[in-house]
Amino acid sequence: MPISLDYALAMSDGVGPEGGLTDAELDGLAADRFRQAHAGVRARVDGGELGFWKLPTERAVLGEVARVRDALADSVSDVLVLGIGGSSLGTRAMRDALTAPISTAGARLHLPDNSDPWLLSHLLERLEPARTAALVISKSGGTVETAAQLVIVRDWLERAVGREAMAEHMVAITDPNKGGLRALADAQGWPTLPIPANVGGRFSILTGVGLLPAALCGVDCEGLLDGAAAMAERCTSPSLRDNPAGIVAAVHYLHDTLKGRNIHVMMPYSDRLRAFAAWYVQLWAESLGKRFDRAGERVECGPTPLTAVGATDQHAQVQLFMEGPRDKLVTFLAIEDGERDLTVPESQGSTSYLSGTKLSALLDAERVGTTEALASDGRPSLTITVPRLNARALGELFFLYEAATALSGELYGIDAFDQPGVELGKRLAFGLLGRDGYEEAASEIEDRLAKRPTRYRV
Ligand code: PA5
């Protein structure tokens, strides 16, 4: 059974005229802007620019992934995934959704993606190098956080296993032809997997970036691709009402631009999809937050994505969603069959009403209660129902949001596939680190720091 999307409560029929969109608004967009957006994405896919769209059907990668997995030492039980942003968030989402928290099957994946030394230093103290592999993942091959971790981990591994055995413990996943990581891996003879040149970091989960970690921890890679392929098929429809990514893009775009709902909340009622929501945040934010449109006009547009988790956030953010500014559109993610359950035993007194209740039923009742409570006050939402959270369903979800992001970029008229806004901060940080070639950035930031007024400190 495929995942389904219900957007009734994003429409005025479901939440009233203030809260929802009219059919005329949606159909007006369908006739005009969506048609163009759809054609724009198709042209970029057919022209080979948007490589992510074709990944689900390009199965040669599975053989390459198996070859690299088999090249690793048989003793490997722990895998350090060294990457950040698009080189890590999808893998975390995959791991958390599809592997058990205390799993004995497959390798354990660790994702110390930040430069914060806390997690990595603990891991290096606890893990046995002889039983550990490091997957270094970087599309550009030069990301500073990943480069620093690579050098630390390589040193840690090499001192334990020796230089000759390093190719059984290190894998590089990077651009097929260029970048520092590609050059290093080739020089060292480490196994590598390519991130196709036309696939950007945050769209790369269905390349070796996500598939090798998936294979190592026993996830069904074919299932991930099958689900994504089935969703790609659905998202190819030029009819907005039949196109799930089109609906996600159009409903969010119209709520943002017509109703001022520019905070887009992803709220799974499942711990297993918590990291998926974080992956979505990066995808939506980095792709859609742009200063200029594609004609070069200053637009400074972009919805703000937010994660929430049910039922946890009913005790944290839902108060704000219910009574705060009417600037949010919530997407609830529901899992129909959670595979595991616990039933509350017979009990007396104040908890007797829970006797015999399944935790899954409690979670579901809380989700429906929250959805309807929001709707009763004209606060809109969408609900995606996942019949069962397996590799196939996760593949569907990944592709749905990648396609929706591409279509949204067209609707906003911006380039969803670059991220120029992160460059200045990086340049200034390199200046502070004294990196060669960043002398100008160093004086710029020193100057800025020196000029900062000091009277505002307490
Ligand atoms: O989506 C993107 O392109 C970014 O978020 C990158 O994934 C992130 O900056 C890491 O870059 P790289 O994979 O080049 O190390």
List Cα–Cα distances, 181 to 148, 287, 332, in angstroms. Answer: 12, 25, 39
Cα 143 to ligand 1 centroid, rounded to whole Å: 8
For position 309, which CATH number holds? 3.40.50.10490
- From residue 36, give the alpha-carbon distance in Å to each of 223, 246, 284: 32, 12, 20
Residue 310 lies in a domain: yes
**Does the CB atom of residue 84 touch ligand 1 within 6 A?**
yes
Q: Is the CB of 182 under 6 A from ligand 1?
A: no
Same domain, 213 and 237: no
Is the separation of the CB atoms in 81 and 137 below 8 Å? yes
Whether 149 lines ligand 1, by a CB cut-off of 6 Å, is: no
Candidate from 114, 139, 418 with most ligand 1 atoms within 8 A of CB, to mutate: 139
Torsion, Cα of 213, 219, 220, 225 (10° steps) = -50
Domain end among 220, 235, 253:
220
Residue 420 placed within a domain: no
Q: Are 26 and 76 contained in the same domain?
A: no
Two structure tokens written together for 263: 């905070």
| 124 and 198 inside one domain | yes
Alpha-carbon span 271 to 240, nearest angstrom: 31
In a domain, residue 424? The reply is no
Which residues are identified as catalytic?
286, 315, 426
> Atom of ligand 1 at shortest distance to CA of 195?
13
Q: Are residues 303 and 317 in the same domain?
A: yes
CB 276 within 8 A of CB 268: yes
Q: Indicate whether residue 380 lines ligand 1 (CB < 6 A).
A: no
Distance 205 CA to ligand 1 centre (A): 12
| Residues 281 and 340 placed together within one structural domain of the fold | yes
Look up residue 48 and give its DSSP letter. Answer: T
Gap from CA of 200 to ligand 1 centroid (Å): 7
User: What is the per-residue DSSP string for 403-424?
Assistant: HHHHHHHHHHTS-TT--GGGHH
pTM of the model: 0.96
Please give the residue range of the domain that contains residue 183: 53-220
Is residue 224 within 8 Å of 395, Cβ to Cβ? yes
End-to-end, the C-alpha distance of the chain in Å comes to 58
Q: What is the DSSP code (8-state) at residue 239?
A: S
pLDDT values of the chain reduced to their tens digit, one per residue, 458 residues: 999 999 999 999 999 999 999 999 999 988 889 999 999 999 999 999 999 999 999 999 999 999 999 999 899 999 999 999 999 999 999 999 999 887 777 899 999 999 999 999 999 999 999 999 999 999 999 999 999 999 999 999 999 999 999 999 999 999 999 999 999 999 999 999 999 999 999 999 999 999 999 999 999 999 999 999 999 999 999 999 999 999 999 999 999 999 999 999 999 999 999 999 999 999 999 999 999 999 999 999 999 999 999 999 999 999 999 999 999 999 999 999 999 999 999 999 999 999 999 999 999 999 999 999 999 999 999 999 999 999 999 999 999 999 999 999 999 999 999 999 998 998 999 999 999 999 999 999 999 999 999 999 99
Cβ partners under 8 Å of residue 444, min gap 6: 428, 431
Shared-domain flag, residues 208 and 232: no
Domain boundary among 220, 246, 274: 220
Q: Is 138 in the pocket of ligand 1 (CB under 6 A)?
A: yes
**Ligand 1 centroid – CA 236 distance (Å):** 27
277 and 133 in a common domain: no
Name the residue with the closest Cα to ligand 1, atom 2.
Answer: 201
Answer yes or no: do 19 and 83 share one domain: no
Q: Is 33 in the pocket of ligand 1 (CB under 6 A)?
A: no
Tokens of 20: 């929802």
Residue 448 inside a domain? The answer is no
Are residues 388 and 267 both part of a single domain? yes
For residues 354, 360, 365, 367, the Cα torsion angle rounded to the nearest 10 degrees is 140
Looking at the structure, do residues 258 and 400 belong to the same domain, yes or no? yes
The CA 85 to ligand 1 mean position distance, Å, reads 5
Asked if residue 197 is part of any domain, the answer here is yes
Is 230 within a domain? yes
Query: Separation of 389 CA from ligand 1 center, angstroms?
Result: 27
Q: Would you say residue 442 lies in a domain? A: no
For ligand 1, atom 12: residue with the closest CA: 138
Burial classification of residue 272, based on how many CB atoms lie within 10 Å of its CB (0-12 exposed, 13-18 middle, 19 or more buried): buried
Write out the two tokens for 371: 């959805």
Query: Is 200 a pocket residue for ligand 1 (Cβ < 6 Å)?
Result: yes
269 and 162 inside one domain: no
CA 430 to ligand 1 center in whole angstroms: 17
Number of domains composing the chain: 2
The domain boundary residue, chosen from 198, 220, 242: 220
> Which ligand 1 atom sits closest to the C-alpha of 143?
15
Does any ligand 1 atom lie closer than 6 A to the CB of residue 179? no
213's CB contacts (< 8 A; 6+ apart) are 79, 81, 91, 94, 95, 109, 135
Q: Is 139 in the pocket of ligand 1 (CB under 6 A)?
A: yes
Residues 215 and 268 in one domain: no
Q: Residue 37: name the closest of 103, 334, 45, 82 by CA.
A: 45
Residue 106: the pLDDT is: 84
Nearest CA to ligand 1 atom 3: 201
pLDDT in the model for residue 32: 87
